[in-house]
Structures are given as structure tokens and as C-alpha cells.
Structure 1
Amino acid sequence: MPPIQNIEEGPDTIRILITTDNHVGYNENDLIRGDDGWKTFQEITYLAKTKDVDMILQSGDLFHVNKPSKKSIYHVMRSLRLNCLGDRPCELELLSDPSNLLDGGFNTVNYEDPNINVSVPVFAISGNHDDATGEGLLLPLDLLSVSGFINYFGKIPDNEKITVMPILLQKGKSKLALYGMNNVKDERLHRNFRDGEVTFLRPNVQTDQWFNLLALHQNHYQHSATSFLPESYLPSFLNFVLWGHEHECIPNPVYNPDTGFDTLQPGSSIATALSEGETAEKHVFILSIKEKEYSLEPIKLQTVRPFVMKEVSLMREGFVPGPASKNDISKFLVSEVEKLIEEANQQYRDSNPELFEDLEDDIQPEYPLPLVRLRVEYSGDYEVENARRFSNKFVGKIANVNDVLHCYKKKGNKYNQVSLIVLNDKKLGIDERDLAASVISKANIKDFLKDFLEESNMSIIPEEGIIDMTKKCIDQDDKQLISDYIENSIESSIKLLSKVDINFDDLEGDGDSRLAFKNVLNTFKREHDFKKLIDKEASKRLMPYNSKKSDELMEIDNEESGDTQAGKKTQTKARLSTRSTASKRKAAPKSSMAVDDHDDDSDHDAYQEDDSQVEVNEIDSEQDEEYEVPKKKQSTRKPTTKGTSRNLTSKTANGRNSKKTTESTCKRNVKKPQGSIIDDIMKLGR
């Protein structure tokens, strides 16, 4: 459905400011470009305030990393507080139950919270840069959501069977069904759609009167056979698709005749890669919806740093190959960069004419340092000045002082499919980190890693797990993932080894080998039993280290085989006796327990499924226990009960409580046997 020319503001018009890929925090350690992301985001929220929109819709990658700095979080929260909080009433009426769509335990959109004055609500999904990691699978949007600044929606708790539910909003006669899908690995999502494992639910009340809008964050173009989402996979009842992740700004919606909906690719709000796709002007959009019709107004961003790019060929320019023309080539390249700088300044003057209208003749206008990229094709025997040394000539004139020049040579017959795909990715504006992940999947680095790990003959840590963690480490820019995986794998192996029951008489080898293996296995089992007993005592809220329990620990730790030397027995008893004496002086910890209760009330009248059945799964009430060990006094905290959340739609439950064991708490208060083999292996793992 093509947009109409203009829809006037009114009581029946829903006005939405559309933005995506803000990448706040990108290159924030750069003295020149470090603040570009948050400054542009502040401009976007200011536009929402001055343009009197009803809401902001953000389609992923608000932050550049999934662990943004305090500086990035501060500026985002500051912008939201300045421009999105206020006394102006929000005219959007929420018709659906948000308990399964919005997380955080508040079960409502932020503008209906009586404790917060929200004038412009923000609805946001997560992208591939700010996705969930770590314990609890939290992401930056969770922090903004629980603090009341945004409404984070579009979560996909089950990647195998995906159910997409809309948030139903109404203003006057206009009804909006807002769908959202967080970023999913493209290959997996492609397979899910192909196999029919994705279900979209539709409102079954006045179904044809809803304007259906979908916000997603996936590859829009085919980078490989399955690493993208074809538009033909999306349901045809949609009216408008907001496509995040691609950085090239295409300011006009594109109609798909096969599916019948329009697709808008807003592009990023700042340039994160010096590529051809980033040279287009950056915009945000105001989408005006009146019943089933819509209009789109592009707004050019003023705070975006100018970016110009040019490509030259030394052979086409007529230079003679060889070292004799090196100086002439350098002079030519310098002049080309100077022209690009002037072009960037002219672009800034044209975009901001009001800044130059009242300037006197003797006042020099101020320009932001532009981004300049000169691509030089020097196939042949040409000699080109070092790119870093060349870039230093423009310090104080450009923002990217380290990489203004990019020299490359054309490939011949060996210009394979991988290189072609990578080149296309660069032209589309894929940033360096996304490109690195793309190259890994296409250049088959997985095979190289697999061969290397097979030669290493690792027996405890799975090879496939190391390969997957390496991929995630690059995708998420999280160096801790691999070390955490190794540590968890070692702990899991120790638990399995402690349960092994072996007949040592059946083992091959000499007596010393069997004895050594037997001693190692017994040590594993003793330490495992020691931990189990400590956990058991903590769970019963008893004195864990009184004389009686110390005797029990002595009995466990003194279980030795008949082959163990007597001197080792004496050393073990002395060490454990010391631990027993010290433990008697410790106070008994008391526990405080928090319980999450989930009431499952399903409202099957609000939605109907689209072309397929959806499996209904109840949310199981799970109990989270935390044990808090006081330093001086015993805790008197009482059990507390968190707020309830309801599952009011026919979809796979999306609430998951993570059980916490008492093991991590007890570890801080109990000394393990000295010379622990577990500690030695953990050191090797780290």
C-alpha cells in the first residue's frame, strides 16, 4: 500500500518517530569522534519532543556494544529524561495486556505508570550489537526498561519455536498492531521461517481495521545462502515493515508486490564504517497513521559528521609504474584529499544554511572535522606512501586521521566468491565487527579452528563449544565468553568425574599407574562430597561447622584406600583438624529467600493465530533462593515475594527464572583443602 502525500495531525492520527542503529558509544575513546553517537541521539529525542509525536520506535542497536560504558548509559538516560519525560499527556491507549510483551515485573507500559510522567514513550527492540549476555541474559535495554525510560519489547525466549505477538494501541479511530522481533542469528531465523516455526498472532476483534507494523533487525540483503531474511518469508497481512541493521539510509519506502507491504530501511544515525553505504545522508522519519493509511516524512539529521568518499585508479590516471612516480602519486593523492575536505565542508554549509546567514566577512565559519576516505587502486608495480604516514598530513583537518587512505589491488582469476561477498558487504555499509563475523562464516575459519583443536587433543573441553564461543566473542565483542566457557566446562567435567565408579582391577598398566589414577579419582570425589555436605548444611540453616559436623567432615575427608601411604593420611588429618578448629569460631549463616510466583491467566480472546497453531505452555513457578552470610550479626531478613506476572496470550511462555544454588555463596565462607586439584585445573583453564 503506497503512502499518501500528507496526513494532517489530529485526534485520529498516530505519529511515530522512527529511528534505528544509533550505536551510542561507538569509538567513544576517540578524542574527535567519541561523542558523535550520543549527540545525534540527543538530537533525535529532541526532534520527537518538538515535532509533537506520540511515540518513538527504535529498531535495534541503540548501543554499539552489549556492555556500554557508564558515559554512554548516562547520556542516553539524560536525553530520554530531558525530551521524553514531561507533563504532556500521551494519547495512545493500550488495548492489549503487556504482561507477556514487556518485561521487568511491572506489567504495563511506562506512560501508564502513575509514578512516572512520560510524554513521549519509546518502544525499542534489541539488535545484534546490544544483545543479551551474561548471567540472567540481561542487556542495556533491560536497564532502561526497568528504570522507566523505555518500553523494551520483541523478546524471543525460544529460538526453536517463535511466536510474535503485537502490542495493541489505539488513538481515536486508528488502531495499531505493533510487532517486534529482536535480532536472531540470520541462519537460524532463516531456517525457522523456512520450516514454519514462526507464528504471528493477530487481533481477532476487527481484524481488518488494524494497521500492522513490524520492527525487526536482520540482514536485508543476501550475504550468503541463508544469512539473511527474505521479505517473502514475512506474512502478507503486514502493512509496514521497519527494517533495522542495514546502515544505508533509503529515505523512501519500497513496495513489495509479492507480499503487499511497504518496507522502510532508515539506516544508521552515525557512520560506523568508512564504506560506500554510509555516505548517504542520515535521516529519521515521522510515520503518520490514520486508520489504514499512512504518510512518511523524512527529517535530515543536523549533528551527523559529514562523510565523503572517492575511489581512484593510478593506472587510469596515467601514472607510470615504478618508484620514480612515487612522489608524483603522493602529491596527486594529497590534492584529492584536499578536494574531498572542501566537498565535505560544502555539504555541511548546504545542510545548515542558518549557521552561515549572519556571519560577517571577517569571521571564519566553523566546520566539524569531516570523515574522508580515499580508495586507491594501485594494481601493478606502483609504490604508494605508507597510509598512516600519509594520513598524518591531515591532522586537524579530518576526523579519521589514521585511515584516510585505503590502498588495494585488484584480484585476478582468484577473485573468489568469498571476496565478492565481502566487497558487497562493505558497499552496503556493514561495519567492521559485523564484517569480521561475516568473513568468519564465509572463509570457513571454523574448519581451521577445528583442525587446530583436533591436533591439540583436548579431552575435557568440547571442540564445537570452543568454536561457537570464538564466534560469539567476535560477534558480541566480549572477551570474557571463552574463559567463562572453559571454566564452566571444567567444573562440569569434575562433577561427572566424581560420579564415576571404576573397578581398578580391570585397568591396564602397572600398579603405580593404577594407584596414581585411583588417588586422583578419590581426591575428586572427596572434594565433591565436601561441597555437597556444605550445601546441605547451608540449606538446613544449621550451624555448619560445629563439632559434630566437623567430625562428619573428618570422616569424609579421611576415607583413603588401602594403597594410600600412611604419611599422607597423617598430613590430611592434621590439615582437616586445623580447618575444623577454625570453623568452630564461625557464626551460623541464616538465609533470606525470594520467591517468584507466576499466575498463568490466558486470555485467548485478545488474539488469533495466523495460519498455524501455537503450543500453549504454562509458566512453571520456580523458587529462587539466595543465602546471605553476614559478617558480624545474623541476618533477620524475612522472605520476600516479588510481583506476579501473567501469561495472557496463547504463546510459548517467555518468563524464565534462573535458579541460584547455594554453592557460590558457600564458596566464599569455606576453605577448600589445600593443594586442591580443582584449583590447579581451574588455573590451567584460565
Structure 2
Amino acid sequence: MLATDNHVGYLEKDPIRGQDSLNTFREILQLAQQHDVDFILLGGDLFHENKPSRATLHGVMASLREYTLGDKPVSIELLSDPFDGKADGYSFPAVNYEDSNLNVAIPVFSIHGNHDDPQGVGVEGALSALDVLSVAGLINYFGKVELPSTDGTAGRSAAQANDPLMEDGIRIRPVLLQKGGTRIALYGMGNVKDDRMGYELRANRVRMYRPAEEPLSWFNILAVHQNRVGHDPKAFVPEGMFDNSVHLVVWGHEHEQLITPQPVAEKRYCVTQPGSSVATSLMPGEAAEKKVAIIHVEERDYYLEEIPLRTVRPFVMEDIDLDDEIQDANIAADDKPAVTKLLKQHVYGLIQRAHEEWTAKQQRLEDPSHPAERMPLPLVRLRVTYTKHEMGNLVRFGQEFVDKLANPKDVLQFTKKKASGARKKRDENVTEYIDPQAEGMVASEKLEKVHVGDLVREYLEAQELNILNPVGLERAVTSFIEKDNKDAIKSFVANMLKSSNKDLVSMNPDEQQLDVEVSPELRIA
């Protein structure tokens, strides 16, 4: 079974939507059990937060124990080393069903995403929440890419050009599985910064180990978690850059459901994009029906069986032009009560549509062994474009729908009409890239799209830093704030100072004295 972007813990404190992500994750595990799958493959972002709350971690661990442990024999034989990737200093294997102390019925293999990526330093190195699930024997965490660069920079600077570590690139070892005459090589690459991953791929520095025995007889699956759509030209990974030995790419991170395998130009592999199992933003890409898939493989042939998810909260949206609506309704543009009534009629129409679509879905998925789900409060988004009509208090507008919608506070989204274009002029010399997805978002959604790393980078680009690497510092600050990695900045500065001290050895005394005079400023910073 294939699934990605479960984002368990999303809005966990919301009294209405707080359990959505966990409920659907439990449904996915139930489906795996009902369909008697051989294993589950998760494509990253199992958790929404890098450090999930105790309630979220408890819910995920309890669900995995409930549905993936048991006496059913595991039907897939592991041919690769079961200890490859095991926790340092411990004797139990990395693959849970190879541990004689555990009764595993359905193995779960997972890579990490950008929300639950490894963070921190210490004896064990950077750790992810998936490492916790792995040592607990509940999942098999693979695809943990070890990048040689300590400061996380993309590309190679002049200093890095002679760094022997940078010659290694990315090496991916597969998990080798066999059932009958079918053999699967399972490759995984957890999330890496898109610019860094793009560099590694363009430089042909990503190497995939192949089985030594009959390498052409294996069905190769690659699980990745990267930006697939180029909203920002520097922050996505083109889908046609992977090795041609791959047969199927399972693409995580993109939330739009495009689960039907899509061919890639001039490549023999296809891409399946399962999408998220919970809507984390009210955008068109999230409105498609949420699904998981079972991939049936026989030797080198395969097909995907798509399975719609029943527990996903219904989500409907509509775009209207307020100027046209006012004209068609023959009401005055400055008649705010009439305009408000008009918008409420559209919202009620969307609620009715949500009920009709839910009923039709339940009838289509009718199963005597599975009672019909009761419809939860729907998510509704009415996107309104306008010229100069101003609405009053939007929170007050939504109060009428408190017991009818799951998102009454942000049911409306207003976008003022303006000249089209991907760039807007900020001053004579600076242009700002505008993400097309962010156009017209409500304030709270725009805030979610703002990355602290971008703010830090914009500031640092205007500075002159002789010791600290701006790109590495940006990522250290991002890790400190977004991932709660309290050692990120300290570790980065220590590495930079260590590197600077090595450079001092080759300097003459006058140059060394200059650096000594500058260093107190660094300590103050």
C-alpha cells in the first residue's frame, strides 16, 4: 500500500478538525489490514510537526501497534542486510520483522519528509521522530540521506571544491524484498533541500546501488519527498532527473492527488503522486478526492488499485467575480447588506453541494461490511475577486455558519483584481518573486507560507560576512526556529570557527592579527 503526507497532528488543538489526520491515518492502516497487503510504503511527512506532541506520538504508536503487529506471517523475504541502518550501539536489527522478539504482521517502510526530518546533534547524530518509531519496532525507517557538507550549502564554494568529502555525493542502498518470483528493490531518499538535491542530480552525483545478482530482474521503486512543481525556479526537483533503472517513483510532498501513474518524457519510469491524506490548506490542489493505492507487482509488471478514503472531511470550493455577481443580481455595489446576503447564498449552496457529493460517494463506496460514514462538518472556501467592494468583519460573517462548517472563520477569501504578472516591482532595482499559489490567500494562510529562512536570507544578502556562510546560517536559523533544534546555530558557528582556525594556520602574522581583532564582534553577534 502506498500513502504519503499523513501530517498527523495537524491542527490537533482545533476542537473540530483536531482528530482528522489521525482518524484518516487509522483508516489507512485498517485498509492495509483488510486488503492483506504485504507491506506499507509511506512517502514522508507522517507527522506535521518536527517534534510531535505526546498526544500525537501516542496516537500514531497506538495505531501502528493495533494494525501492524500480530501473528500473521510476513510473506516478503528480506534479502538485504537486516542490520543496515540499525541504531548505533544496539544489537537489534533495523528491519522490525527480522527481530525474533517482535510479532510483525504488516511491515511499514517510511522515508522522512520536510516536516519530520532529522534534527539535532549528539552521540546518535541527527534524529527524527521516525527514529523513535523505528527503535520501538513499529516502522522501518529508511532513505536517511547523509550529506557530507556540514553547513548544508547547495552547490560547491571555492573552499568546498577541494573538500574530499564533497566527492561522495549521495549514495542510496536499496531494501531488497522477494515474494515468490517477484523481487523488489526499494530505494528511498528522505527530504533534502530542493536546491541541494537539484545540484546533486544535475552533477550526476546521486548513485543507486544495484543488486549484484541478476540486476535486471528487479522491480525498482524510488520514494522521494521533494517539490515537484516549479513555483520557484530554484526550489523544485524536475521529475525527469532520476536514474533510468527506476520503474516507479512514489512522489511525496505534493498534496494534490495524482495517484494514477504518469509517464515521464524520455524516461521509462512513471510517477505516482498519492497526495496528502488530510487537507492542510484550502487550495484547489487539496480539493481532489483523497486516495491511497495498492500496487500489485508480478516480476516487472505492475498496476495500481486506487482506493478512496472514507473518513476525509469533505472540502468544496468555488471562485466568483463579485462585480459580475452584483450586476447579475441587480443590486447596488454599495449595498453591503445585500452583498453579504448574496455571498451567504453562495456559501449555503456550497454546503448543499458538499452534502450531495458526500452522499454520492457513500453510495459509490457502499460496502455491507462497512457502514456508511456520518458526514462531518464540511470545509468550504468561497474565493471572491473584486475591484473596490469592501466587506465588513469577516469573522462576524462566519458566525452564521459556526454549526454548519468546520472553518467558519475563513470561509471567504478575497482577492483584489490587479494586473497579471509573476513579478511585481518593489523599487527601481529589486524585484520580488511572487508564488502563484500565494496570490489571494487570506492573511493566516499567507503567514503559513512565509519561511523564516527566506527572511534571513534576504537580510544576509545585504551584509558582508567574512567568516559565517550566509546560506548555512540561514538554514541553521531556520532549523532553530521551525524545527526547534536548539543546537543548530551553536553547531553551525562552531563549525565555521573551526574552519576559520584552520585557515589561520596558513596566514602570515599580520593577517592572523586582523582576524583576532574582528573576532569579538562575532562573539557579540
TM-score by length of 2: 0.81
Q: Which residue of 1 aligns with 2:157?
A: none
Match of 1:95 among 60, 63, 79: 79
- CA-CA distance at 1:385 after TM superposition: 2.3
1:118 paired to 2:98: no
1:447 paired to 2:465: no
Match of 1:298 among 303, 306, 309: 306
What SS does structure 1 have at the residue aligned with 2:335? helix
CA contact (8 A) 2:456 2:474 kept: no
Q: Which residue of 2 aligns with 1:12?
A: none
CA contact (8 A) 1:186 1:226 kept: yes
- Aligned equivalents of 2:266 and 2:495: distance in 1? 53
- Aligned equivalents of 2:103 and 2:447: distance in 1? 38
Where do residues 13-32 of structure 1 align in structure 2 (5 Å cutoff)? 17-32=1-16
Q: 1:238-294 deviations in whole A, cap 9, x for unaligned?
A: 111101110000131111241111110100000000100000000010001111111
- CA-CA distance at 1:465 after TM superposition: 5.4
1:73 paired to 2:61: no
Q: Which residue of 2 aligns with 1:435?
A: 449
- CA-CA distance at 1:384 after TM superposition: 1.4
- CA-CA distance at 1:54 after TM superposition: 0.4
Where do residues 423-572 of structure 1 align in structure 2 (5 Å cutoff)? 423-424=436-437, 435-437=449-451, 441=454, 446-451=457-462, 466-473=473-480, 477-479=482-484, 481=486, 485=489, 489=493
Q: Which residue of 2 aligns with 1:142?
A: 131
What SS does structure 1 have at the residue aligned with 2:83? helix
1:412/1:492 CA distance change after superposition, 3 Å: closer
What SS does structure 1 have at the residue aligned with 2:184? strand
Where do residues 227-238 of structure 1 align in structure 2 (5 Å cutoff)? 227-238=235-246
What SS does structure 2 have at the residue aligned with 1:402? helix
1:324/1:435 CA distance change after superposition, 3 Å: closer
Where do residues 62-461 of structure 1 align in structure 2 (5 Å cutoff)? 62-103=46-87, 105=90, 106-135=92-121, 136-159=125-148, 160=166, 161-319=169-327, 324-353=334-363, 367-379=375-387, 381-412=388-419, 416=423, 422-424=435-437, 435-437=449-451, 441=454, 446-451=457-462
- Aligned equivalents of 2:53 and 2:171: distance in 1? 33
- Aligned equivalents of 2:366 and 2:39: distance in 1? 33
TM-score by length of 1: 0.63
1:337/1:27 CA distance change after superposition, 3 Å: same
Q: Kindly, what percent of the aligned residue pairs are identical?
A: 41
- CA-CA distance at 1:329 after TM superposition: 1.2
Q: 1:401-435 deviations in whole A, cap 9, x for unaligned?
A: 221111111222665178885124779xxx87873
1:321/1:435 CA distance change after superposition, 3 Å: farther
Q: 1:486-542 deviations in whole A, cap 9, x for unaligned?
A: 698499979x99x99xx9xxx9xxxxxxxxx99xx9xx9xxxxxxxxxxxxxxxxxx
- CA-CA distance at 1:101 after TM superposition: 4.1
CA contact (8 A) 2:120 2:485 kept: no
Letter in 2 for 1:395: V
Ranges in structure 1 where 5+ consecutive residues have no aligned partner: 1-16, 359-364, 508-516, 525-680
Q: Which residue of 1 aligns with 2:151?
A: none
What SS does structure 2 have at the residue aligned with 1:296? strand
CA contact (8 A) 1:387 1:406 kept: no
Letter in 2 for 1:485: I
1:173/1:487 CA distance change after superposition, 3 Å: closer
- CA-CA distance at 1:324 after TM superposition: 2.2
- CA-CA distance at 1:371 after TM superposition: 0.7
Letter in 2 for 1:68: P
1:218/1:146 CA distance change after superposition, 3 Å: same
- Aligned equivalents of 2:105 and 2:114: distance in 1? 29
CA contact (8 A) 1:145 1:151 kept: yes
CA contact (8 A) 1:212 1:240 kept: yes
Where do residues 584-623 of structure 1 align in structure 2 (5 Å cutoff)? none
Where do residues 585-664 of structure 1 align in structure 2 (5 Å cutoff)? none
Ranges in structure 2 where 5+ consecutive residues have no aligned partner: 149-165, 425-430
Q: 1:554-591 deviations in whole A, cap 9, x for unaligned?
A: xxxxxxxxxxxxxxxxxxxxxxxxxxxxxxxxxxxxxx
- Aligned equivalents of 1:490 and 1:174: distance in 2? 50
Q: 1:595-642 deviations in whole A, cap 9, x for unaligned?
A: xxxxxxxxxxxxxxxxxxxxxxxxxxxxxxxxxxxxxxxxxxxxxxxx
- Aligned equivalents of 2:171 and 2:205: distance in 1? 8
Letter in 2 for 1:400: N
Q: 1:309-329 deviations in whole A, cap 9, x for unaligned?
A: 111111122449986222221
1:50 paired to 2:57: no
Letter in 1 for 2:78: L
- Aligned equivalents of 2:175 and 2:295: distance in 1? 17
CA contact (8 A) 2:480 2:489 kept: no
- Aligned equivalents of 2:494 and 2:118: distance in 1? 24
CA contact (8 A) 1:167 1:177 kept: yes
Structure with greater Cα Rg:
1
